[in-house]
Amino acid sequence: MNETLVRNHGPFTLKRRLSDAIFSFCSGRLFSPKKIDGKSTENEVRVSSWLYALAQSERNMAFEYVRSTERGLSFKEAERRIMETGPNIPLSHSFPSWVQLLWNAFFHPFNIILIVLATLSFASRDCANGFIMFTLVFLSVALRFYHEYNNSKAAIKLVELLRYPVKVQRCAGRVIQTELTVQIDQRDVVPGDIVIFGPGDLIPGDVRLITSKDLTVSQSSLTGESGTTKKTADIREDRTTPLLELRNICFMGTSVLSGSGTGLVVSTGAKTYMSTMFSTVGKHKPPDTFEKSVRDICYALIPVMLIVVPIIVLTDYCMSKNLSRAILFGVSVTVALTPQMLPLIVNINLAKGALAMATDRCIVKSLTAIQNMGAMDILCIDKTGTLTVDRVIMVHHLDSCGIPEERVLRFAFLNSYFKTEQRNPVDEAILAYVYTSGYRFEPAKWKKIDEIPFDFTRKRVSVIIETETETWHRIHTHLITNKLVVTKGALEEVLHLCNFCDHAGSGLSLPLSVEDQHKILHMGEELCNDGLRVLGVALRRLTTESSGSGELNSEEMESNMVFLGILTFFDPPKSSAKQALWRLAEKGIEAKVLTGDSLSLAIRVCKEVGIRTTHVLTGPDLELLDPSTFHETVHKATVFARLTPTQKLRVVQSLQTAGDRVVGFLGDGVNDSLALNAADVGISVDSGASVAKDLADVILLEKDLNVLVAGVERGRITCGNTMKYIKSSVVANVGSVVSLLIAVMALRFEPLTARQLVAQQFLCNVGQIAIPWDKVEEDYAKLPQRWSSQSIPLFMLWNAPVFSMFDLGSVVFLWYYYGAYRPSESKLYHSGWFVEGLVMQTLIIHVIRTEKIPFIQEVASWPVICSTVVISAVGISLPYTPIGKLMGMTDLPLSYFGFLVVVFLGYFFLSQVIKRIYIRIYKQWL
């Protein structure tokens, strides 16, 4: 067994081969796979199995596992191992260079289309159009590169946080070896080193304890909770103990609060538990729904271009016998087919949403996060500070029978008042309760003699106080001394010190029976199950001999005490939390609580803020679920307690993959980094850890869910306006190109010259810049708005033929009414179709933007109305201007505008009929 463990996991026995490194890098960067079965990865299973094997073994056996000795490693052996294993850095994978990130940002199908069109424009001497498209490419690449570069820097910052000096025991000497304690950098620690740590030290790797003395550590970097964990070397654990609760194992990145110890380093670098947690941080996220849909639109346009444009070019060449002119016309058609303003419109839309959210105290780092906030339908939140005020308040002060008793509060107050070392939120809560409730306990009449400070082993604090004899006997006639030891601490610890129980009703202190102890503990357990923190209060009167003995012995002072009663505390919900959750639910967002706190406390808070608690799960329960039931159970549960960071990640990924949901995660600690990085919308707060803020897409300047509700509303408005542009552009562009193709084949000349076609598209694009300032219907913002690229072709098939039908109507009218089918009448035809096509593409936004009847039941915002009027006026007047004459246009007869009114009214009527049928079938419009 020993050989197997060393061979399979020995941190220094196997080198990673070059091919493995390349495969690991490529798979992590290019594919970034998500877990979909809810179970640990192979690396996590290997790490946990290794740590469990060491936790179950004797201390002497642990040295054999890592091939070390009780004296420690020699300096030469340590140098050999550092060369073999590499530096002790938890994130071992390489980060992409800025060149790689820039290439990833550049290589996008939409950018390729624009670059090809720009090149052809320059080749055809259409420099202005080519310059515009190159500018759009530059803006798109710059924004994407900036986002990816910042995301990668967050992971690098994690490495910088974990650099500190470490004391290790090494042996030196060739003949007689001497044990030396030296201080080295954390990065130079290797498996087999013996590390020495005390209060304030960080654990430099995964460690099997060798010795310990009152050792208490904080694992908040792994769990996110402020609780402490007691560690001891003199124990052998079993497999049923949760990994983070192993008492003889300390984990990399945790810190020592009190006590001291020595430990054998068993894992470093990429093979530590912390590495399995943060191995995905900074890796490229898979494209979200919005980004993927934009790509799909580009891919869909490419085959259309490859089919339509060559036909148009060949047809034009057959008529004109001028190849360069035909190619120029084909480029212009391609420009007309491409939604050139998509990057600009989307980015203006998102930037406007970001500015609006900033006024609501919500800072957006990633613009695409606004789109995802509009689509978000699940919000995973931590309990502390988000649902609660993150401040302890006192609730009860009860005697041993569970009856409110002022004496319990009096002595708890004196304990907290005279306590000087390690003042904590509990003391502040007691003092605040007394002052605000009008009690007058006159602390000035008491004097502090000494204090036995709190430590994590005793879990209690005691103060020795005295008062004037006259005052004391007036208040406490049944006690014969004016010097007391007042103790406050964990209920079980305090109860173990007591031999008597105070009965305030009779004024007597009676012996504390076993039955009384069980009764008090049961009462404390019930209060804990209600989500309250419970402390006990006791006192002891000092005899003349003990009070005058000079040197105080804490064990003697804290013995033979009288149990007074129980104090309870609670971190109450925010007054705004229930309303905010109700508003989120009203907008179709389901809230799930993911916390490292106890289940009972989480349930109490959730009940008070209105979150259902019929389906709850704990971290250990999560590990026991089968892959077949994992996703279903996670989907049903609303409260998750005692979760590790890795388990938070699995919950988020399960909701994303199996539930096909858009998941937001609100977290503010290092332990939330995994979930923040994986969520569709990572949300942190301004007071959060720097790594959490770096990985977050959105930062709240107030830790209030109401701020997030406003952000969701802005996200849905942004989503709606973006969809207006995309769908109206696709319908108008495809519809006009189809009309153009039919007209080219029917006529013996170009229906529009290349210059006229480019000018028409330019004016249409300028008019669409106002779309981000449009409003959306109230019903649209009530529900999460997700869209898929698959809906675009379907939408186009229903609406583009209607556009083409009326577009071709002008061809027929110009042909038969004005006889504009001869080449000699081409100027009239060009002018008429230019005006009709421009006004038609300008007005289509009013049809697409609403489910209702445009201009009657729903009117666009004034910027959109103004834009429509201005662009239409420019288009109608252009044939009459010198610029129009220069472009080959001529004056249009007034009767033609009467025809246009009929065409537009007919288009609005038929499009409204199609709209109602489409909504009835597909239950949506935008």
Which residues have a catalytic role annotated?
382
As given in the structure block, the two tokens for residue 915 are: 């709209």
Q: How far apart are CA 335 and CA 353, in angstroms?
A: 28
Q: How far apart are CA 740 and CA 751, in angstroms?
A: 7
- In total, the chain counts a number of residues equal to 926
The DSSP result for 253-317, as a single string, is T-EEEEEEEEEEEEE-GGGSHHHHHHTTTTSPPPP-HHHHHHHHHHHHHHHHHHHHHHHHHHHHH
Q: Tell me if 374 sits within 8 A of 719, measured CB to CB.
A: yes
* Closest residue by Cα to residue 153 from 918, 644, 693, 632: 693
Q: What is the CA radius of gyration of the chain?
A: 37
Question: Chain centroid to CA 720: how far?
Answer: 23
Q: Give, to the nearest 10 degrees, the angle between helix 705-746 and helix 826-848.
A: 150
* Closest residue by Cα to residue 713 from 783, 788, 787: 783
Write a three-state SS string for 818-881.
CCCCCHHHHHHHHHHHHHHHHHHHHHHHHHHCCCCCECCCECCCHHHHHHHHHHHHHHHHHHHC
Q: Tell me if 7 sits within 8 A of 13, measured CB to CB.
A: yes
* Contacts for 613 with CB less than 8 Å, ≥ 6 apart: 603, 606, 607, 638, 639
Q: How far apart are CA 267 and CA 66, in angstroms?
A: 9
Measure the CA angle with vertex 496, ends 491 and 498; round to 5°: 100
Four-point Cα dihedral 847, 850, 855, 856, nearest 10: 120
The DSSP result for 784-825, as a single string, is -----TTHHHHHHHHHHHHHHHHHHHHHHHHHHTS-TTSGGG
